[in-house]
Structure 1
Amino acid sequence: MSVETGRIYLDHAASAPLRPEALLAMEQTAGLLNPAGQYASGRAAQRVVEDAREQIGELLGADRAEVLFTGSGTEADNIAVQGLAFGALRTRGARRVHSTLVEHPAVGESVDWLCGGLPLPESLFGHVVVPVDAHGRPGPVEDLTPDADALVTAMWANNETGNITDLVSVLGPAVELGVPTHVDAVQAVGHLPVDFHSLGVSTLAASAHKFGGPKSVGLLLARREAVIDTPVRGGGQERKLRSGTVNPQGVAATAAALAAAVEEMDAEHERLAGYQARLMEVVRSIPGAVIYTDVPGGALPSHVHASFPGAEGDSLIMLLDMAGVDASTGSACSAGVNRASHVLTTMGVEVHTARGALRLTTGPATTDADIDRVCALLPGVVEQARDAGTAY
């Protein structure tokens, strides 16, 4: 089905449509008020919150007490990255933070702030850049010492390319040494099987609207023993790590959406992989196309990320928009100016090529008819965009 009559939605990696199960959960809990209240209606709301916490823990291989609700995946990443780093500094004097340069800004800008953006004469932390291969995947993080290393963080599935990181290989050495580890799993949760305890990491972040839950609800899985000096101050409602009144309607909808996503994961993976193969075939047929989604090496079946040198990404999405297709470049945009993706340039892609990037991401709203239409449109759209030229 199309999200809006007459339109095709191919930007699921940015935000997935609200699942019917989530909408029903929100309607059923619409009357709930303050879950922190010590009165009957407060206790009723708190029961809904705790039931959702337990269900999410079971779905993600975590204990109920390890499931914390935040206002977004971005907030969850910030609490984890900053909190683990400051916790390690306070308890062990550790000052090195390891991460790649392909991380989402929620992680990347947190690391930048820790390692150079603090308003102090000198930075408290040093950044050790983890190199990536041509597909944006990091290798094992080695040569670690608990006394020096505060944090190792890695993205599970890249939001632009969809390429999947082998977390056990990358983070395993840090986990074995007891160095704090964080996983940005915003693109993975609801799309890949998750067992938090088996991963062995300290924290893991997710976002409800990426798997059909409501916006402004995030998840942070945090081990009981993890030392997290949270940057969020206030009432300490979520294990004293995240302050703010929990949204009972939102978390009930998140649990319902996650349960539905996990239940249909295998079937949806197969369906979307078929769409991915069809889109890839059309992209490969376009002269000069450069594909970044590495299906043989392991990628989410929802993603097709490619560049069309000679075209501007903005032109591509504008032309698709005019044809009734919602898509994105997958790159950061500031003040209305299209920038080359930091993910692609870190992977070694030339700026001129990276500026012609287009990301098509499928999901529950995608139909066979949608893919038929986009496959028919894409070659002509690229040709038009190339005729319009590129900005220098």
Structure 2
Amino acid sequence: MEKHPPQEPAVATVDTPTAEVSRRTVVRRWLVLAAAAALLFWACTAVSGFFENLNGGPVRTAADYRTQDIRTREAGKAAVAGLRPGDADAPGRMSKESSTSCVDDLGADGDGVTRDQPRYAWSLDYTRKADYLAGLDRLRTSWRRHGWKVEEVPDPGDADRPTPRWPEIRTVADHGITLSMGTNWYTNKPVLSADGGCVRYRTDQGVTARKTSGAADGRTPAREGTVTYDDGVRVSIGPVRPFTPPPGGTGDDAPAAHTYLVPVTVTNGSGAPVELRGHDIGSFEHANPGVRRLTGFPAELGSGQPEQVTEGESKRLEFVYTAEKEPSHLEIQYGPGAFHRPCPWTLSIP
């Protein structure tokens, strides 16, 4: 009988993970983690955006609000210009409409934050419905030519209204501005409106100066200077000159031994009015020791109401300063209205 040497028991071979498989596993795990992180970030962003919209939208700058205000005015004026001459009642005159929705009901606006809605209306001079519909067609064609979607606004129907409303159209133009042509809800008269939406903004972040010269550089005293802002508003101050107030012209605020008149001229090259106020002018703390301003000047601001400079116009205001001891120069800050940042001025004394 043939004998065979004992055989070692066969061991089943098991496939071991290769380096390539290990790398794939690690990559897969990292991809899963990255996807989870991205999903979490998206969820946080969505929640943050929800509460931001609930509070009235993001907080922008006062300069952003003024830009949107100018754009809204220009969009409305362009729409009016697209109608037949004579369709608009006093086309150069428009009215600002108030909004009951652009309010801080939740108290979300903190210190230095406010909100407003640039919203304007132009009355249209239509007595015949056929003429009104022809004007509506002109706007509809013009808006579609711009690539804007035109919405036909249905008549909601109101049994209390004595006459039915004429058709209305609406579109969202560039920069999110809503344009519409229809009839006023209360008067039933045709109107064209432009709505720039509710804007939250910081009041201390106004339009900045793009160019300064002379005394506006704030480095060395100069007789006069000029500041030009990004929106086209220009301010010129100086030269300072000695001034003798008329008898009784200062009331109880008696002038001292040295009194000076400081002329300020504001030229509005922007697309919206500028409202000048008495507190637009000021100075740094500890500047001009012994110098004070006579608050009775300028006379245009004596009532406490702002003085408006409309588009394309200029306004000159004369501020008066007085001191017991003759100062070497005047250091002031001036920014026209609520939407322009103050600039430092260093004015020489004659």
Q: TM-score, normalised to structure 2's length?
A: 0.25
User: More relative contact order in 1 or in 2 (CA 8 Å, sep 6+)?
Assistant: 1
More strand by share: 2
Instruction: Find the structure with the greater CA-based Rg.
Output: 2
Higher helix share: 1
After TM superposition, the score normalised by the length of structure 1 is 0.23
